[in-house]
Amino acid sequence: MAYRRPSALESAADGRLLGLETSRGATPTGLQDHPRFFSGFVTSPQIAAAALLAVADVAAARYYQPQLRASLDPVVTGNGDRLRFESFSGCGGVYARLDVLTPGLDGGEVGHGTTNVDVNDPLREALSRIGSDDPLHLRVGPDELAVTTLDGPVVEKKVPLPDRWLRGFAEAQVVAAGFDLRAELPADEAVRFLRGLPKAGGARRGAAGPRWVVPVGRSLRPTTRPVPGAVCLPGPERLAALQRVLRHATALRVYGPAVGAAAAEAAAWEVVLPGMRLTLTLSPDASRGFSGEGGVLDALATEETAEDAELISVLLAWEPRVDVADLAAAAGLTPERVRAALVRLGTSGRVGYDTAEAAYFHRELPYDAERVEKHNPRLRSARALVAAGAVSLDGPLATVTAEDGHAHRVRDEAGVLTCSCLWWAKYRGGRGPCKHALAVRMVRRGAAAELQPAVVGGGAR
């Protein structure tokens, strides 16, 4: 990626100027080398600086194998009424998002588009020194002079977004779409709880298995098992970035799925700030990045979903809240097909999911959709099995003959496919379908599609 110059915090006549430089990004008018999304004041400078540093902390951290280096630039999206800053940890197990909402911005219009933003070490140091009384003018993108003067030096940073981030964006939105609000703590209880969590290195990772917390009154209480209403807290040291904003918090919200088996689950932890929200979503285990969760594979496996996604993509308009019912009406599709299409669009980074508003949002990342399938090995393997004629259907049962000649039995139990392979035995569907179940689903859908013309032709018209 290339920036025209490094991001910097400078003194200005009316306070301080935080200039965040952008690289090549997507906008409503197409790709631009250095798009400009905002120029105006932030209403809470010190809080905004701390929250942005928290997102940068996650991008620079590895919570698993921390000795390995991780330093990547956050993604910023202008949604017309807010700015969203997003990042993943180097290990792929923590997804951070800062939503700077309309009340947090003053005196400028928010544009539309997505790009990377430069957060360098000198800028981080300067941001950490911002006081509560310092007016802060925020500029996301080049200033007016830089917009009109396109010739000049650029700052090259060899930190392109990896494929793991792309897969992480896709899987995180699928996981988050299954979350509900499980607990909300007032500011004092939020501070007490988060400051009492174990620090990195304070305990052996994974020694006690998954941790759980359960709402009790105005706070959260640790529990050793997933009782009803409990939320999983896998690797509590991974919430360390929230410490930067704790003294400014007005509430802490916790989101998670309905508790099922004793297996660890992902969860989202949101600190509510004046005019902003900072959310960290944790994968089910510190050693387990979002990129391998497999939640998008079903959506990638059908041609119907690909066609629906192409239609839905035309209707997206950088909305901060994507209304599924409105999209369904506009596209002439069922809400279920729209949701599947949004999942597929998420695999190329084109939509995310906001747990606070229980809604998808539109963004655009500079990724080729064909790259997505290439980097999902189970999907490639399933397609190869189908092409080789390895799937044999027999009612609710199916037999898939692997490359080594070993036969795997796949059973349909109320729409859930189980398999006799080692992958299923290990994960029990917790990381998406195995390649055998995926291949069976492809064949069943293909068979149903072949029968469809005959059914339609035989009915009254």
Distance between CA 104 and CA 98 in Å, rounded?
Answer: 11
Within 10 Å of residue 224's Cβ, how many Cβ atoms? 10
Altogether, the residues listed in the chain come to a count of 461
Tell me the C-alpha to C-alpha distance, in Å, between residue 33 and each of 40, 114, 151: 21, 11, 12
Phi, psi for residue 170 in degrees, rounded to 5: -65, -50
The three-class DSSP label of residue 296 is coil
What pLDDT does 71 receive?
64
Closest by CA to 320, choosing from 80, 116, 25, is: 80
Are the CB atoms for 45 and 106 separated by under 8 Å?
A: no
Find the farthest-apart pair of alpha carbons in the chain and give their distance in angstroms, rounded.
77
Determine phi and psi for 79, rounding to 5 degrees. -110, 20
Confirm if 85 and 95 have CB atoms less than 8 A apart.
no
Chain centroid to CA 56: 15
**Residue type at 290 in one-letter notation:** F
The residue among 100, 70, 99, 94 whose CA lies nearest residue 280 is: 94
What is the β-pairing status of strands 15-20 and 136-140? parallel
pLDDT at 250: 97
Residue 371 has a pLDDT of 57
**pLDDT, tens digit only, all 461 positions of the chain:** 688 889 999 887 777 899 999 988 888 888 888 899 999 999 999 999 999 999 999 998 888 877 666 667 899 999 999 999 999 998 889 999 999 999 999 988 999 999 889 998 899 999 998 887 778 899 999 875 444 443 445 555 545 566 777 778 878 888 898 899 999 999 999 999 999 988 765 444 444 567 899 999 999 999 888 888 899 998 899 999 999 999 999 999 999 998 765 678 899 999 999 999 999 999 988 887 776 555 566 666 666 777 898 899 889 988 899 999 999 999 999 999 998 889 888 877 889 999 999 999 999 876 555 555 566 778 888 888 999 999 999 988 999 998 878 899 999 887 788 999 988 888 777 677 888 988 998 888 775 555 444 333 333 33
Q: Which residue has the tokens 């990195």?
A: 200
pLDDT of residue 134: 75
Correct CATH for 168-292 of 1.10.1740, 3.30.450, 2.60.40, 3.10.150: 3.10.150
pTM score, whole prediction: 0.80
- The phi, psi pair for 219, rounded to 5°, reads -135, -170
Partners of 92 in beta bridges: none
Q: What is the pLDDT of residue 456?
A: 34
Nearest partner of 239 among 287, 284, 194, judged by Cα: 194
Provide the residue ranges of all domains of the chain, joining segments of one domain with +. 2-161, 168-292, 376-461
Tokens linked to 81? 């009424």
Token representation of residue 314:
């035309």
How far is CA 210 from each of CA 20, 193, 264, rounded to the nearest angstrom? 39, 18, 6
Cα–Cα nearest to 340, from 452, 447, 454, 445: 445
Q: Residue 221 and residue 240: Cα distance in Å, rounded?
A: 19
User: Whole-angstrom Cα distance, residue 50 to residue 52?
Assistant: 6
Amino acid 415: pLDDT: 75
Q: Are 24 and 73 in contact (CB under 8 A)?
A: no
DSSP string, 36-49: --EEEEESSHHHHH
User: How is residue 140 annotated by DSSP?
Assistant: E
Look at residues 323, 272, 239, 243 and name the one whose alpha carbon lies nearest to residue 104: 272
Look at residue 16 in the predicted model and tell me its pLDDT.
87
Residue 246 near residue 195 (C-beta atoms within 8 A): yes
Q: Cα separations (Å) of 453 from 123, 304, 310, 445, 448?
A: 62, 15, 23, 14, 10
CB under 8 A, 24+ apart: contacts of 214-219:
215/182, 215/183, 218/185, 218/186, 218/189, 219/185, 219/189, 219/192, 219/193
Between CA 393 and CA 440 the distance in angstroms is 8
Q: Residue 457's pLDDT is what?
A: 37
